[in-house]
Amino acid sequence: MAVKKTGQNQPHSWLELSAINRSFGARIHALRAVNLRLELGESYSIIGPSGSGKSTLLNIIGLLDRPSGGHYWLQGVDTTQVSDAQISRWRCQLFGFVFQDFHLLARRSVIENVMLGALYTGISRAQRWRRANDLIGVVGLKGRTNDPVGQLSGGERQRVAIARALINEPKLLLCDEPTGNLDSVAADGITQLILNCVSPQTAVIIVTHDQQLAARCRSSWVVRDGQVSPNLSIMTSSETAFTASGSPVTPGAR
Amino acid sequence: MMIRHHTLAGLPDSRPTLPKARSHISLGQVADEALFTIAENLRRAAFAMIGVAVGVAAILAVAGLTASASAAVLLGFNTDQARRIDVSPSSESAQSTLILTDDQQHSLRNLPGVVAAGTIDQIGAVSISTLPFWIDPDGAQDTTLLGVSSDVVHAAGCELLTGRWLLGADGSHYSEVVLGDGLAELLGVTSAADGRIVYIASDPYAVTGVVHCKYSGINLTDSAMILYLAADGDRGPSAPEHLLISTESAWTNQVRSAVGLLLDPNQTGSVQVSGPPDYAAIREAVAGDINGLYLALGGVALLVATIGIVNTRLMAVIERVPEIGLRRALGATRTAIGVQFLLESAGIGLVGGLIGTAMGLATVVLVSLSQSWPPTIDLRLAGLAPLAGLLLGSIAGAYPAWRASRFEPVAALRAAG
Ligand SMILES: Nc1ncnc2c1ncn2[C@@H]1O[C@H](COP(=O)(O)OP(=O)(O)OP(=O)(O)O)[C@@H](O)[C@H]1O
Ligand SMILES: [Mg+2]
């Protein structure tokens, strides 16, 4: 049974990590006492040196991995108390993943790969096909719908992956170095595509080594040695952008 | 317009709540996906399919060939023999028993199921030739002269190759002879139409016909047969060695016991009544022989197929670890992964079973035809064979499927390397 968060005056955030630890064996502490809040409609970046724990953090947020200690509240429900089957279902109902190395099924066509994203929600094949077809247009691969993904360039493959991640209309799009394998031109297009996904009902988190990319997100965190802190420099630029325009800014539109 | 959520003091209560466990992939959709994946990885699946196919084909082939061979063995017993009762005296002194009284003959003929009854008496060894002894002293052959009753032609399952059978008591029967086909060939008598004469112990006889007989209790093939009536005086009293009774197949056993009572009412044991061989026992013996082989071969084939499919399925799991990770990331539960892999194995087993059934049936037909056995197969077995493949695939796929379901999403995704 999910446990409701109690003794809280403030309404809970959409997602909240509190004192999260993740260790591998006795010696590797990939995350230490991480506290973090996340709201829909936002864009977040996570930067930090290699091996600092960025991917581990993203995997825990995306319910791909489970913390060794601490609490992870999702809309006020403590996910650490929830069954693996329920967690699996939330993965497709709430999250979309974009990986550095795409993770496409090489033998399948573009549309089959996108459709796979909604396989486990149980919607009909026809419905999946329709949604996938629409999304292929959105990510700009209209002419490639039935091509095997093996024939696509890296940038095009990442577009397929993004379409797949969006097919269930996720609340949160999690991207782990989505442009890590791409040249700067392709990277730019992908970044734009991802940031365009931010909507009042959708948030985006991007793990990146690219300071400029990180700066394009509304908020930013730095991970060092398994500890998370706000990325002040980028926060500042974000705040500046916000105050300078004088009105709310949709990050994707920047 | 968009609002910065994290600056809000209070969030509206209308926020969406977490989705409940309701909608999720159905078994049918997992099956679809499994089928799709088999088609996609057909070359890998082919190895496992061939394994199952060979196992199923081997079992079907052995079972089918066993049945076909038994059928051939049963066909080999000629049906004529299967319906004949052979009565002989159990001792010299009892020989006269087979000389039937009119009453006995009448009773015998009227027993239900009796088709024909006839006696055979081995008169003795004689020489036979186509020319009189004084013309060609070296042309004589040794043969056995048999005195037969006229019904023997039916009771002994004889077929006239040429001419006619010995006529009854029309006065000319003393000088007529019918030759067994072996003896006729030896003498060069191929046609009886022109009334060939042979000399038996220097007496001339007219050959009326040549017969081929199925009865093998006495060598009829190389014998000369003359009518020998019980009342014949000049050759001494007839003492038949065999009374042959051919019956309708359903009555053989009843006739057999009735004849025993008829000829030996006091059960003195003076006659020996032998019936056809016990076919059930023979069939059992044949089946028993091949059953051992069947079990051994089938067992080995099954074991090899199982090991084969476990092996290829485990390899498939290892090869597809990143795919498993991806599916988990896309919301697959452990169960969904496990069931998909299990269904893939079951599907491979079913296809293998179907191929194996075709192979097995083809083997049975081809081998049987080449051995001139009647191809015989239990249709229920042929119907069950594809299902056996499915079962084999499921059993062999269970452990690999369980392994596949155990991968943690992150670890599996990392395996992409
Ligand atoms: N499954 C694991 N077993 C053991 N150690 C692990 C495992 N996963 C991560 N680690 C360790 O945890 C630490 C954080 O790893 P993580 O992948 O989160 O780093 P990262 O910040 O994403 O690095 P990079 O920028 O290179 O991707 C590393 O020291 C790594 O070796
Ligand atoms: Mg990483």
Kindly state whether residue A240 falls inside one of the protein's structural domains: yes
Chain A residues 106-125 within an 8 A CB cutoff of chain B = 107-108, 116-117, 119-123, 125
CA B411 to the chain's CA centroid: 58
Contacts of A246 in chain B (CB under 8 A): none
Q: Looking at ligand 1, which residue's alpha carbon is closest to its atom 25?
A: A50
Cβ-Cβ pairs closer than 8 A, A with B, add up to 121
Kindly state whether residue A94 falls inside one of the protein's structural domains: yes
Residue A53 Cβ contacting ligand 1 at under 6 Å: yes
Residues 6+ apart with CB under 8 A from B330: A91, A92, A97, A116, A117, A119, A120, A164
Domain count, chain A: 1
Identify the weakest region by mean pLDDT among A11-25, A102-116, B257-271, B312-326.
Answer: B257-271
More confident site: B98 or A91: A91
Q: What is the mean pLDDT of residues A223-252?
A: 59
0.90 exceeded by pTM: no
Structural domain boundaries, residue A30: 3-249
Residue A112 belongs to domain with CATH number: 3.40.50.300
Model pLDDT, residue B171 = 54
Contact (Cβ atoms closer than 8 angstroms) between residue B330 and residue A117: yes
CA B333 to centroid of ligand 1, rounded, Å:
24
More confident site: A34 or A238: A34
More confident site: A9 or B380: B380
Model pLDDT, residue A1 = 44
What count of other Cβ atoms lies within 10 Å of the Cβ of residue B215? 21
Pick the closest to residue A121 from A135, A133, A132, A137 (CA basis).
A132
Contacts of B19 in chain A (CB under 8 A): 89-90, 93-94
Contacts of A59 in chain B (CB under 8 A): 409-410
Residue A54 Cβ contacting ligand 1 at under 6 Å: yes
Identify the weakest region by mean pLDDT among A114-118, A165-169, B254-258, B398-402.
Answer: B254-258
Assign A248 a pLDDT band (cuts: 50, 70, 90). Answer: very low
Model pLDDT, residue B233 = 47
Could you give the CA distance from residue A100 to residue A193 in angstroms, rounded to a whole number? 15
Model pLDDT, residue B20 = 56
Q: What is the mean pLDDT of residues A116-143?
A: 95
Kindly state whether residue A98 falls inside one of the protein's structural domains: yes
Model pLDDT, residue B298 = 73
Could you give the CA distance from residue A130 to residue A144 in angstroms, rounded to a whole number? 15
Q: Which of A27, A45, A47, A56 gets mutated to test ligand 1 (max ligand atoms within 8 A of its CB)?
A: A56
Model pLDDT, residue B284 = 65
Task: Indicate which atom in ligand 1 lies nearest the CA of residue A25.
Answer: 4
ipTM comes to 0.89
Residues 6+ apart with CB under 8 A from A123: B23
CA A118 to centroid of ligand 2, rounded, Å:
25
Assign A247 a pLDDT band (cuts: 50, 70, 90). Answer: very low
Q: Measure the CA angle with vertex B195, ends B190 and B201; round to 5°.
A: 85
Kindly state whether residue A117 falls inside one of the protein's structural domains: yes
Is B17 touching A (CB cutoff 8 A)?
yes
Model pLDDT, residue A110 = 97
Chain A residues 161-200 within an 8 A CB cutoff of chain B = 164, 168, 200
Check the CA dihedral B23-B28-B34-B36 and report its sign: negative
> Is residue B119 packed enough to be buried (19+ CB in 10 Å), middle (13-18) or exposed (0-12)?
buried
Token couple for B332: 């697959």
3-state helix, strand, coil in chain B (%, to 5): 55, 15, 30
Which of B323, B331, B410 is closest, CB to CB, to A92?
B331
Model pLDDT, residue B348 = 93
Assign A98 a pLDDT band (cuts: 50, 70, 90). Answer: very high
Collect the ranges in chain B with pLDDT lower than 70: 1-23, 74-82, 92-97, 168-174, 192-194, 229-238, 277-291, 294-295, 416-417
Kindly state whether residue A118 falls inside one of the protein's structural domains: yes
CA B128 to centroid of ligand 1, rounded, Å:
110
Could you give the CA distance from residue B222 to residue B241 in angstroms, rounded to a whole number? 17
Q: What is the mean pLDDT of residues A112-120?
A: 97
Q: What is the mean pLDDT of residues A164-180?
A: 96
Model pLDDT, residue A253 = 37
Kindly state whether residue A157 falls inside one of the protein's structural domains: yes
Q: Which of A20, A28, A45, A47 gets mutated to test ligand 1 (max ligand atoms within 8 A of its CB)?
A: A28
Which of B6, B23, B333 is closest, CB to CB, to A88?
B333
Kindly state whether residue A254 falls inside one of the protein's structural domains: no
Mutate to test the interface with A, among B18, B23, B35, B43 (most CBs of A within 10 A): B18
More confident site: A149 or B235: A149
